[in-house]
Amino acid sequence: MMNLARWKVILVLLATIVGFLFTLPNLLPAKVRDGLPGFMPKNTLHLGLDLQGGSYLLYSVDTVALRNERLTNMAEDIRTTLHDKQIAFTDLAVNNGEIGLRVTDPAQVNDAVNLLRRTVGAPLAGVAGGRDVTVATQADQRLRVAFVPEAFDAEASKAVEQNIEVIRRRVDKTGAKEFNPVRQGKDRIVIEAAGENDPEKMKSLIGQTAKLTFQMVDETADPAEVAAGRIPPGDEVVVSTDGIAPSYIVSRRKPITGEMLTDAQPGFDQQGGGGSLVQFRMNGLGARRFADITRQNVGKRFAIILDKKVISAPVIQGPIPGGQGNITGRFTPESANELSVLLRAGALPAPMKVEEQRTVGAELGADAVKAGTTSAVVGLVATMIFMLLIYGWLFGGISLVALAVNALMIIGAMSLTQATLTLPGIAGLILTLAVAVDANVLIYERMRDELRAGRSLIASMEAGFGRAFGTIFDANMTHIFSAAIMFSLGSGPVKGFAWTLLIGVFTTVFSAVLVTQVLLAWWFRAARPKTLPIA
């Protein structure tokens, strides 16, 4: 080892300098950091949500609900189509992910099948004449209409992407920063938002489907019949939050939907009482339909339905041309504002459900940083004092220099890769550094063994490195396995813990072996010792 290869020295110096440069931004106040020349690294450690405060939200997109909704719409199309061709049918219903119906006249079954095969669903991309639904005949004049599984999967996948787009639009409008919805797996969306102080508000903004429809109230329906469960065909019962009626019986037809809105703004009711409302404007198609409906149905009620709840059911006073109107209801200024944001950003194509949420307040995050820093300082100082007590200034000191280089490299690497540092990650860092001295201990003990076995000083030192290296390598490989497995387990804070352990393994082997070797070689050349101070 006295033939200290030059590359080793260069490598050690290089690692120390680079480690220091990348660690430096963490030690400087933000002002100084911004003033650094352009070539200097500026990234500080990327703190996890548990340290800086923020929310992690995992949503699952409800593809079953999406399919049911598509099928329900399709069933209404089928109803209209068959009516138009005067094919009588009964039992039209959506069940177990498919539409079932029974054609009354056996002679019309074939006509019905051919008609539906031509008109229902959408053309399949890439297959001439193919459609994304299948129509099958069954015994007793029954028909089954279902999605082609692959076609629906593709559609669900598209819906997830569109959901992400809509979420981004919604949150952009509130001006939140550092916000990034990401798709995970087939039907999940992960949202991490740093520093958001009201996660419940954000959740209500993100999670609402915000599907708006205008549907006519069926005033001819007999409430007693409906109460007995006999809902007129083509109608549905929708619960109400308007504070006037508990529910309404409305037509299933949705002539106007949220997509037809071009703008929505919160406002105040100028005529009646000054309550909050939402003003909307529609595109050409919506405006035309709205004008038609209001002209044909003066004196009747239409229901404004948001996510299967009636917000209000005003009586049509007269024709409304121009496609502008107000949604009144029981709004506060905040809820009117929220609904306008939701309507402007558009509805989620598929409903979502919160599956996992981890929110940490900024105050708690600051506490965690404090606790982490205190325990790091105490733990490391204790380790250092211990090493000095055991091995003295020289050998103890060398292990501490190796430790310092190790720490620089870990923090530098974490800053460079912008890997997330979590509270358990800080624990991992402390533990890694405390146990990193193990490599020094192995080397020193080996040297002492060799000396005792009667070898010369220089041979003992050579052997100390040569033989201890195998042990150090094997012992650290075990950490790589457990850390890699931990990393693949997923969840944020634990991942941070695993990542620090993993980086630590590499820097530890490097610093303990190379740095220690270089330092010892320098000492040996300078002092020409006759014996080891630790022997």
Residue 5 touches another protein, criterion: CB under 8 A: no
Total number of residues that touch another protein (CB under 8 A): 89
User: Which residues are CB-contacts of 349 (< 8 A; sequence separation ≥ 6)?
Assistant: 66, 158, 159, 162, 163, 166
What is the closest distance, in whole angstroms, from the C-beta atom of residue 413 to another protein in the complex?
Answer: 19
Task: Quickly tell me which residue has 């095969």 as its tokens.
Answer: 117
Indicate the SS3 state at residue 522: helix
> Where does residue 237 fall: left (phi above 0), alpha (psi -120 to 50 degrees), or beta otherwise?
beta
Residue 390 touches another protein, criterion: CB under 8 A: yes
CA distances to 285, 408, 456 from 17, rounded to whole Å, are 66, 9, 35
The bridge status of strand 309-312 relative to strand 302-306 is antiparallel
Beta bridge partners of 184: 188
Residue 9 touches another protein, criterion: CB under 8 A: no
Q: Where are the beta strands (DSSP E) in 115-199?
A: 133-138, 142-147, 179-184, 188-194
CA angle 381–387–390, rounded 5-degree value: 140
What is the closest distance, in whole angstroms, from the C-beta atom of residue 254 to another protein in the complex?
Answer: 24
Cβ closest to another protein, residue 323 vs residue 492: 492
Residue 359 touches another protein, criterion: CB under 8 A: yes
Task: Quickly tell me which residue has 């400087």 as its tokens.
Answer: 28
Q: Stretches 66-74, 132-140, 430-438, 515-523: which one binds another protein (CB under 8 A)?
A: 430-438
CA distance 231 to 43: 64
HSE-up (13 A, CA, CB side) for residue 493:
17
Q: Stretches 39-47, 165-173, 282-290, 475-483: which one binds another protein (CB under 8 A)?
A: 475-483
Figure out which of the listed residues 207, 232, 234, 314 binds another protein, where binding follows CB under 8 A.
207
Binding mask 184-203 toward another protein (x if CB under 8 A, else -) reads ---------------xx--x
Cβ closest to another protein, residue 230 vs residue 370: 370
Figure out which of the listed residues 94, 430, 461, 509 binds another protein, where binding follows CB under 8 A.
430
Residue 485 touches another protein, criterion: CB under 8 A: yes
Cβ closest to another protein, residue 31 vs residue 530: 530
Q: Stretches 313-321, 335-343, 411-419, 492-500: which one binds another protein (CB under 8 A)?
A: 492-500
Which residues, 431 to 460, sit near another protein by CB under 8 A?
431, 433-435, 437-438, 441-442, 444-445, 448-449, 452, 454-459
Beta bridge partners of 325: 280
Indicate the SS3 state at residue 391: helix
Figure out which of the listed residues 247, 375, 417, 418 binds another protein, where binding follows CB under 8 A.
375
Binding mask 44-73 toward another protein (x if CB under 8 A, else -) reads ------x-------x-x-------------
